[in-house]
Structure 1
Amino acid sequence: MTASTPHQQPPAPSGALLPRVLSTVTADPGRPRLTWYGPDGERIELSGHVLDNWVTKATNLLVEEFHAGPASEVVLDLPPHWRTVVWAFAAWRAGACVATDDPGTVEAGTVVVTDRPERWAGTPADVVAVALPALARRFDGALPPGVTDSSAAVLGYGDVLTYVREHSPAACAVRTLGPGATTRAHAELGAWARETADARWPGEEWLDAADESVAYRALLQARDDDALAVVAAAVVVFGADGSVVLTSPDVTTALAEDAARREHLVETERVGRLV
């Protein structure tokens, strides 16, 4: 790994969604953008600046370590989590395709970002292990040979995006397997995000665009299989200059069983559209 040095702004296709989304969230850099409620009382709040910083570092790791870019696939084998949002955004910022895959079919050259590195041992993929606890400085446990510990590595990458290759709006942005399998291009990323968020949270009235008169804060109560739905909703909300409160599946279950606790969270986090 080499230290990053500042360069001019990397290229992006005309109208690329991710740079515009990140520009929106960093326009007010100190404002909370992603608040996470996890197991054991964990609460993490990322401002626009901090979120962008994490995405930049992760993008630099993917590009510099694995040459990720157009025609690359980054498999996300992660639960619904704030780190999942970071790695999906980083893959898209590099021009790669965010995918789901199986250890039995994954191909050489694919980067797998996972909290279960042992699941991918022996595959031809490049594996990045992600420790989920907020304060983790390294992955807890022995890693298979050749696996990159993102907790130890990512902080060594630069805070300024160094280089990403020009990529076509027609290049793959999302590829999923199983029921509802789909492949969507970067030009379709916004539409995919809205469709996916609508399907998972049909009662949510997403803002279509930024509204200076409204502070929009969406509560995303995640289930175990909601990783990509959470990422999609984050694209929609951030694109409308909003912020996200995200609960882990365990917390989601607890809130469903305790209406008073849920009401308290909604009130203290100021969830909704505040005029």
Structure 2
Amino acid sequence: MPAPTIADVLASLQREPGRPRLTWYGDGGERIELSGAVLENWVSKTANLLVEEFDAGPGVRVLVDLPPHWRTVVWAFAAWRVGACVVLGSDASTSEVEVVVTDRPDKFDRPAPVVAVALPVLARTFGSALPAGAVDAAAAVMTYGDVLGWAPPVDPAAPALVGAGLEVTHAQLIAWPVNAAIPDGARALVPTSASGSVADGTARALHDVLAALRSTGSVVLVDPVMSEALASDASRRDRLVATERITVTSATS
């Protein structure tokens, strides 16, 4: 049976802690593989930051201005774990959110605090382009505990995801993925696209990752450049399917 809450999804990752759960292929061939234990660890650290630095909880709106990416999954799951609402769409006013999580911090004006996320796999800091006053996610997240500390109770009726044409409450979140093409236990290839808005692409990626993980599966998430290459090169796609032991190659993205 699918796990009924985000907390249960994360707990289920610990049943096989060493099993790969989220594999990312980025621009230029970068690859990172997160086991269940490592993915849950990243989410816990990030959730601790959200609670301790920004009092994240039910009613707190976290603007996630990030493309489809493994770090995006971590930030969204962390916000959901503490009952906050993920807002998609960079056109949202900072006056309407409590915190902004973005890879483009220079485009946002205060008053909402800004968390700058470096997307390269090996990045340990955002670098010299970090605006004054912004939180450097690459450095800050690692200072927080590996186990989730105190977190407010999740309000099932509170919003969990808004934007990209979606309005999903925490009670609806686990049932939100309706992708019948990802059966229980599958290792799913989740391609992404550069067409359309970033918010739409991020929503589709989060949908498919959640669909797989809630049903004890795993995901190979591929950035738009490589996704386009795989779509036009069947032999390359077949090699990836074989190498990553992918069992499902269709997704909503």
**Cα distance in 1, alignment partners of residues 92 and 50 from structure 2:** 23
Alignment RMSD (CA, Å): 1.7
Decide whether the 8 Å contact of 2:83 with 2:154 is kept in 1.
yes
Q: Which residue of the partner structure matches residue 132 of structure 1?
A: 119
**Cα distance in 2, alignment partners of residues 106 and 142 from structure 1:** 20
TM superposition score normalised by structure 2 = 0.90
Return the offset for 1:247.
0.5
Secondary structure class of the residue paired with 2:40: helix
Decide whether the 8 Å contact of 1:59 with 1:91 is kept in 2.
yes
Give the aligned length. Answer: 241
Q: How does 1:1-275 map to 2 (within 5 A)?
A: 17-102=5-90, 105-107=93-95, 110-120=98-108, 122-177=109-164, 181-194=165-178, 198=179, 205-207=181-183, 210=184, 215-224=185-194, 225=198, 226-272=201-247
Counterpart code for 2:162 = R
Secondary structure class of the residue paired with 1:272: coil
Return the offset for 1:257.
2.2
Please tell me whether Structure 1 or Structure 2 has the larger radius of gyration of its CA atoms. 1
**Cα distance in 2, alignment partners of residues 56 and 176 from structure 1:** 24
Decide whether the 8 Å contact of 1:78 with 1:115 is kept in 2.
yes
Q: Which residue of the partner structure matches residue 251 of structure 2?
A: none
Q: Which runs of 5+ in 2 are unaligned?
A: 249-253
**Cα distance in 2, alignment partners of residues 109 and 184 from structure 1:** 17
> Which range is displaced more, 18-27 or 140-149?
140-149
Q: Which runs of 5+ in 1 are unaligned?
A: 1-14, 199-203
Counterpart code for 1:125 = A
Return the offset for 1:123.
2.9
Q: Which residue of the partner structure matches residue 10 of structure 1?
A: none
**Cα distance in 2, alignment partners of residues 265 and 83 from structure 1:** 22
**Cα distance in 1, alignment partners of residues 149 and 160 from structure 2:** 21
Return the offset for 1:16.
5.7
